[in-house]
Structure 1
């Protein structure tokens, strides 16, 4: 990465990398956009981030890998598929020396979209079912 300042946009973030890495980052971005067209692009934790009713995923480039952050739930749901990569509680490292698994990224994003939409649906339903406190009026 060329710059150490926090980028203001995903475009600015991607511009800071060599051309070959830029191509990978743009393809990850477009993969996410296709699965989450309503998601908002933001920079969070100095990384490209997609948000839809909360954070969906983050991604970032490093010297030897692409970090993909699908939060713990994304990693738990795809344990088998990510087992061949180095991963942590909410992160996966896709080595730059290997083909990037865009199909897996697509599946994870699709899962996260459904998860966030379901959480929002449940919150909305919960708000509708809670009744306002009854007020007692005094009769004259």
Structure 2
């Protein structure tokens, strides 16, 4: 796998916008994050640890903060959002039902705090 920029360049335009938007929010929240890999996936990396990866899967877009605790930190905020699914370390959504920006910020900051911890 390549970089986040490579991932975005290869996406269908309908998927590129919501994925690029999430990466843009993450970069705003953690400007020191760099492109790299997390568990073999293109990701933003902070202090040598994966911060977040957002990728197109077969039936959804997956958000991977590399932390079940970070997902748990935003689970309540997503409870009333239809079409959003949560697993231990993953948030799934459809491009036409994106994650709210404030939830993305909270997710990224929860992971940042863990890395800094």
Alignment TM class, shorter chain as reference: 0.7 to 0.9
From 52, 61, 65, the equivalent of 1:66 is 61
Corresponding residue of 2:26: 32
- SS of 1:78's partner is helix
Q: CA RMSD of the aligned region, Å?
A: 1.8
Listed as ranges, the gaps of 5+ residues in structure 2 are: none
Cα distance, 1:32 vs structure 2: 0.5
- SS of 1:51's partner is strand
Cα distance, 1:48 vs structure 2: 2.6
Question: How many residue pairs get matched?
Answer: 112
Corresponding residue of 2:113: 114
Give distance in 1, aligned partners of 2:95 and 2:37: 22
CA deviations 1:37-96 (Å, max 9, x no partner) are 111211334433122132222211134422011211101222212334211110010122
- Structure with higher Rg: it is 1
How do 1:62-101 and structure 2 match up within 5 A? 62-70=57-65, 71-83=67-79, 84=81, 85-101=84-100
Contact 2:4 2:44 in 1 (8 A): no
- SS of 2:115's partner is helix
Taking a change above 3 Å as real, the CA distance of residues 68 and 17 of structure 1, as seen in their structure-2 partners, is: same
Contact 2:25 2:105 in 1 (8 A): yes
Taking a change above 3 Å as real, the CA distance of residues 104 and 49 of structure 1, as seen in their structure-2 partners, is: same
Larger strand proportion, structure 1 or 2? 2
User: What TM-score results when the alignment is normalised by the length of structure 1?
Assistant: 0.70
